[in-house]
């Protein structure tokens, strides 16, 4: 595997005896010219131009998706992924370097045969879309709002981890004739965020925390759900969130120490919909108040991490 400007490149063939005129204006190929004072420089520049072509096209498509979104929420998902990731090229071929005496430099064309590359890429994109569609289908089948939110969050996270939007954009550039095949997945991706925003408006939750120092844990969890769009209510709320904290306090010559643990569950009509627990490392300080504040700050952070894994950020 060859690294070039942060882009992973798989070179299956180096040079292939095709004429330049057979490649540059042929829709069966994606091709870019490269020039250089040496053969290697020309090859590298041609490869860089080919990589840039894909990057520019993916960037343009991401922008078009944001503009054409008919909901009230901008979709920046594909742009975010693109910035974080390079473009993976494969099945790259090169023409034989040709020396231009007038320009005093070599000329090389880097190109991809669309049909050949699609045979390699299709199984990869199919695997990613199948995974996402399974998560999406499982989420949609949930009748309970919180479970549907969690399921859609998992679908979103799966798409993000697999860079699905970027892969779909890449597939569209690589083989435009296959675009329609993935339209259903694109639609489902674009539906997740607006759907979540509609669902959360229907939800309310009450938070109960045992042994909560200065209500720091309750406040942190309340802010999480409130920022998410879920109403924080009283005992009559649709959902009840219970947090139990065990401080495991130790008074030692060096100071006051806590090794806190927690358990959390979200219920609806005595049915547990979500639960989790955690154990923190020892935290302490000379000052008892400082030690307790540190322990509960760490507890809040750990509980939020648990919830963030279950519910995507909006």
pLDDT in tens, 37-63: 999 999 999 999 998 888 877 666 655
Angle between helices 164-174 and 114-140 (to 10 degrees): 150
Comparison of pLDDT for 71 and 309, the residue scoring more: 309
Contact 151, 138 (CB under 8 A): yes
106-124 mean pLDDT: 94
CA 107 to chain centroid: 39
The yes/no answer on whether domain 2-116 falls in CATH 3.20.19.10 is: no
What percent of the chain is predicted at pLDDT more than 90?
Answer: 68
Structure tokens at 7: 């882009």
pLDDT score, position 9: 39
148-157 mean pLDDT: 93
Residues in Cβ contact with 59 at an 8 Å cutoff, skipping those fewer than 6 apart? 79, 82
pTM: 0.73
- DSSP code for 257: E
- Angle 24-83-227 from CA coordinates, rounded to 5°: 145
CA pair distance 258, 285, nearest whole angstrom = 9
pLDDT score, position 11: 39
pLDDT tens column, 274-285: 999 999 999 999
Instruction: Tell me: pLDDT of 118 over 50.
Output: yes
pLDDT score, position 225: 93
Angle between helices 145-161 and 114-140 (to 10 degrees): 160
CATH number of 204-310: 3.40.50.10610
Contact 43, 94 (CB under 8 A): yes
Comparing CA positions, the residue from 289, 30, 311, 276 lying closest to residue 197 is 311
Structure tokens at 298: 């760490």
pLDDT tens column, 247-290: 999 999 999 999 999 999 999 988 999 999 999 999 999 999 99
pLDDT tens column, 161-217: 999 998 999 999 999 998 899 999 999 999 999 999 999 988 999 999 988 999 999
Phi, psi of 172 (to 5 degrees): -65, -35
**C-alpha count within 13 angstroms, C-beta hemisphere, residue 163:** 17
Comparison of pLDDT for 77 and 189, the residue scoring more: 189
- For the chain, the domains span 2-116, 120-200, 204-310
Q: What is the CA radius of gyration of the chain?
A: 27
What integer best gives the mean pLDDT of the chain? 85
């Amino acid at each position: 595997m060859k690294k070039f400007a942060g882009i992973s490149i798989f070179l299956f063939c180096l040079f292939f005896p095709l004429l330049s005129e057979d490649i540059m204006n042929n829709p069966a190929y994606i091709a870019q010219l490269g020039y250089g004072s040496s053969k290697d420089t020309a090859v590298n520049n041609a490869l860089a131009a080919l990589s840039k072509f894909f990057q520019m096209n993916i960037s343009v498509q991401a922008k078009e998706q944001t503009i054409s979104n008919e909901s009230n929420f901008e979709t920046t998902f594909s742009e975010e992924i693109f910035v974080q990731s390079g473009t993976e090229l494969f099945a790259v071929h090169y023409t034989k370097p040709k020396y231009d005496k007038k320009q005093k430099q070599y000329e090389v064309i880097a190109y991809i045969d669309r049909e050949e590359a699609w045979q390699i890429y299709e199984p990869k994109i199919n695997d990613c879309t199948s995974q996402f569609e399974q998560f999406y289908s499982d989420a949609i089948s949930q009748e309970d709002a919180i479970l549907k939110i969690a399921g859609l969050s998992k679908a979103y996270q799966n798409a993000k981890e697999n860079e699905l939007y970027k892969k779909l954009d890449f597939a569209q550039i690589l083989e435009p004739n296959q675009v329609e095949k993935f339209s259903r997945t694109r639609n489902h991706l674009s539906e997740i965020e607006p759907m979540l925003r509609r669902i959360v408006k229907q939800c309310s939750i009450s938070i109960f925390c045992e042994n909560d120092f200065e209500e720091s844990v309750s406040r942190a969890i309340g802010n999480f759900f409130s920022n998410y769009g879920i109403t924080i209510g009283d005992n009559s709320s649709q959902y009840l969130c219970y947090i139990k904290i065990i401080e495991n306090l130790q008074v030692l010559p060096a100071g006051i120490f806590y090794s806190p643990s927690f358990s959390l569950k979200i219920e609806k009509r005595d049915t547990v919909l979500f639960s989790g627990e955690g154990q923190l490392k020892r935290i302490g300080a000379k000052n008892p108040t400082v030690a307790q504040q540190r322990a509960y700050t760490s507890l809040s952070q750990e509980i939020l991490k648990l919830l963030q894994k279950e519910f995507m950020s909006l």
